Amino acid sequence: MLVALLSRGHALLVGVPGLAKTLLVASLAEALDLSFGRVQFTPDLLPADITGTDVLQEEDDGQGGVRRRVRFQAGPIFHNLVLADEINRTPPKTQAALLQAMQERRVTVGTTTHALPDPFQVFATRNPIEQEGTYPLPEAQLDRFLLEIHIDYPSELEEREIARKTTSADLGTVPRVLSAADVRALQSLVPRIPVTEPAVALAVALGRATRPDRPGESNGSSRAPKEVREFVRFGAGPRGSQALVLAAKARAALLGQAAADVEDVRAMVTPVLRHRLVLSYRAEAEGVRDVDVLAAVVASCA
C-alpha cells in the first residue's frame, strides 16, 4: 500500500470479510493527515452518488426576494484517500463513474469539470469468495489500478493480539506521522528516482511475455511461454510495463536505495500484473491461477 501511495497509484484490496481492509485504509489516511472518504458500493448506487451533482439553491437576495442559483454539491469522491468498498457490487455504469477520476483526477458533472484534491487515490476492496449479486470489473477499470493487493489471514500470534486489543476498553489512536504536504513531496520524489536500463528492459519483457499473440515477432525464441499461450486470452498492455517501473521506483525509495534495479521489478511482478491478465475458460477449468502463469512468465524472462 505504501508503494501505491508513493506512486500516486490506485490499489485493489482483495480479501475475505473481516480482515480489516476498511480499517487499514482509514488508519492510513489518519496517520498521514489525509482526508478520507468512503463509498459503500451497492446495486442501486448511481454515478451522481459518487461524483456529486448540481443542485438548485434558493437564497435571499437582500431585497425581500429569492434568488436561485445552481451549486455543485461534491460527492464522497472529493477526498485524498477514497475507499470504494466492495466495488464489484455495483453495475458497470456506476463503476465507470470512477474511470475519469482515476485516470485524470477530475470529474465532469454536466458541462463543468471539477478538479479532485491532491493527492487523490482510490483504494477499492473486493470479496473474492462471494459472487452472488456482484458484477465483474471491466478490464479497462482493472488496468487503472496500479496494484492488486491480496490480504491473507493473520498468523496465530497476530490473531491473538487482534483478539486481545480489539476487545479491550482502550483501543488506542493512530499517531500522525506525516502531513499532507510531506506526502505530496514524497510522491514528487519517486518519478525522479533513477532506474537502471536492465530494470526497464526486464519490465518491458515481462509485460510483453504475458501476451499470447505478439504480432510481428515470428522468431520462436521471442514467443510467450507455453502457460501464457494456453491459459491467457489477453495479457498486460503498455500500462503494465509503466506500472512495473513506477512501482519498482517506489519500492527502491522505501528501501532507501539510490536507484531501482531488476530486483525491485521482480518483487512487484505479482501485484502489478496479476489483475491485468484475462485468463481463459480452460485455465478456470484446470485450476490454473494468475500467480502460476506469472511464475512461468518470470522464469521465461530470467
Residue 157 CB contacts under 8 Å (≥ 6 apart), including other chains: none
pLDDT band at 246 (very low <50, low <70, confident <90, very high): very high
Neighbouring residues of 82: CB distance < 8 A, sequence distance ≥ 6: 36, 37, 38, 39, 76, 120, 121, 122, 123
Residues 106-119 have pLDDT tens digits of 888 877 888 899 88
* pLDDT tens digit sequence for 130-148: 666 678 787 878 888 999 9
The answer to whether 26 and 36 are in contact (CB under 8 A) is: yes
Domain with CATH 3.40.50.300 in the chain: 1-48+75-153+178-192
**Residue 141 corresponds to which cell in the numbers above?**
477499470
Q: How confident is the model at residue 42 (pLDDT cuts 50, 70, 90)?
A: confident
Q: Which fold has domain 1-48+75-153+178-192?
A: Rossmann fold (3.40.50)
Instruction: Compute the average pLDDT of residues 262-271.
Output: 96
pLDDT at residue number 219: 46
- Residue span(s) of the chain under CATH 1.10.8.80 come to 193-302
Q: Among residues 118, 110, 99, which one has the least CA distance to residue 54? A: 110
Cα end-to-end distance, the chain, whole Å: 27
Residue from 160, 292, 273, 139 nearest 207 by CA: 273
What contacts 130, CB < 8 A, 6 or more positions away? Answer: none
Tell me the residue type at 222: S
Question: Alpha-carbon distance 252 to 6, whole Å?
Answer: 11
> Which pLDDT score, from 0 to 100, does residue 217 have?
53
Q: What is the pLDDT of residue 221?
A: 44
What is the 3-class SS of the chain, one letter each residue? CHHHHHCCCCEEEECCCCCCHHHHHHHHHHHCCCCEEEEECCCCCCHHHHHEEEEEEEEECCCCCEEEEEEEEECCCCCCEEEEECHHHCCHHHHCHHHHHHHHCEEEECCEEEECCCCCEEEEEECCCCCCCCCCCCHHHHCCCCEEEECCCCCHHHHHHHHHHHCCCCCCCCCCCCCHHHHHHHHHHHHHCCECHHHHHHHHHHHHHCCCCCCCCCCHHHCCCHHHHHHEEECCCHHHHHHHHHHHHHHHHHCCCCCECHHHHHHCHHHHHHHHCEECHHHHHHCCCHHHHHHHHHHHCC
Of 4 and 224, which is predicted with more confidence? 4
Q: Is the pLDDT of residue 166 over 90?
A: no
Question: Which class would CATH give 193-302?
Answer: mainly alpha
Q: Is the pLDDT of residue 269 over 80?
A: yes
